[in-house]
Amino acid sequence: DIDHLNLRVQKELVEWLNWLKADIGFDGWRFDFAKGYSADVAKIYMDRSEPSFAVAEIWTSLAYGGDGKPNLNQDQHRQELVNWVDKVGGKGPATTFDFTTKGILNVAVEGELWRLRGTDGKAPGMIGWWPAKAVTFVDNHDTGSTQHMWPFPSDRVMQGYAYILTHPGTPCIFYDHFFDWGLKEEIDRLVSVRTRHGIHSESKLQIIEADADLYLAEIDGKVIVKLGPRYDVGNLIPGGFKVAAHGNDYAVW
């Protein structure tokens, strides 16, 4: 165990971080298991190493109901993520992985896409509150891969990417999905749509529909994404939009 309150530990870790920056060329940090030490300590490391980007792993269980499924309201869960960024410095480069969105998406794609519209009509994860500070993802080395601790439904992974790669937040692509699962071309197509239309972390999201079998949203008035098996949605798509990417139970206009 590392005693992060020990001044010598802090001093030596800061020196190491600055060595990684100056000598090795790293310019951003990932704070692993950030629940293991206070945000005040993380702020010390941030302030004294001045990275251009930093993301924290704050992995807490969602709130579950008696049916074993996540509650619709996950405000307490995403509030914890927002609080960490606030304490470390909301105006700086600190972000957190959007575990709230990950957890809700895991369940939503299994025929419960209504979960993707919160009670306020916005996205139910951290991206609904503070998208500029939310790093979205479908799986990572802990949740998926060989550890398989909280995996995304494997047959619906591309629905997850269709969501995060068209939505606000800073999307993160999992190595395994890109290189090992044969999804490179499909993911690339979604990335190119995001890049071509200038979708960014603070893009404006308008949720058009969120039913069990259909989620439809417009981003920045430029891109429309559909998740779910419902096929006939033509009456909901404004004129002038053409399909730019599509796959199993998803499409992007």
| Spans of all domains in the chain | 58-203
CA distance 216 to 253: 11
**Residue 227, strand partner residues:** 215, 250
Q: How many residues in total does the chain contain?
A: 253
Please list the active-site residues.
32, 57
CA distance 12 to 17: 9
What is the CATH code of the structural domain delimited by 58-203?
3.20.20.80
First to last CA, the chain: 50
**Alpha helix locations (H) across 20-156?**
39-49, 75-89, 99-108
- Tell whether the model's pLDDT for residue 1 goes beyond 90: no
Q: Where residue 102 falls among pLDDT bands split at 50, 70, 90?
A: very high
pLDDT given for residue 2 in this prediction: 87
* Helix, strand, coil share of the chain (percent; to 5): 40, 20, 45
CA distance 207 to 224: 10
pTM recorded for the entire structure = 0.97
In 205-219, which positions are buried (b, 16+ CB within 10 angstroms) versus exposed (e)?
Answer: bebbbbeeebbbbbb
Q: Where residue 180 falls among pLDDT bands split at 50, 70, 90?
A: very high
> Could you report the per-residue pLDDT of 209-246, keeping only the tens digit for each?
999 999 999 999 999 999 999 998 989 998 899 999 99
One-letter amino acid at 15 equals E
Q: Which residue carries 């870790």 as its tokens?
A: 13
- Tell whether the model's pLDDT for residue 58 goes beyond 90: yes
Helices and strands: H and E segment counts in the chain: 7, 10
CA-based diameter of the chain, in Å? Answer: 64
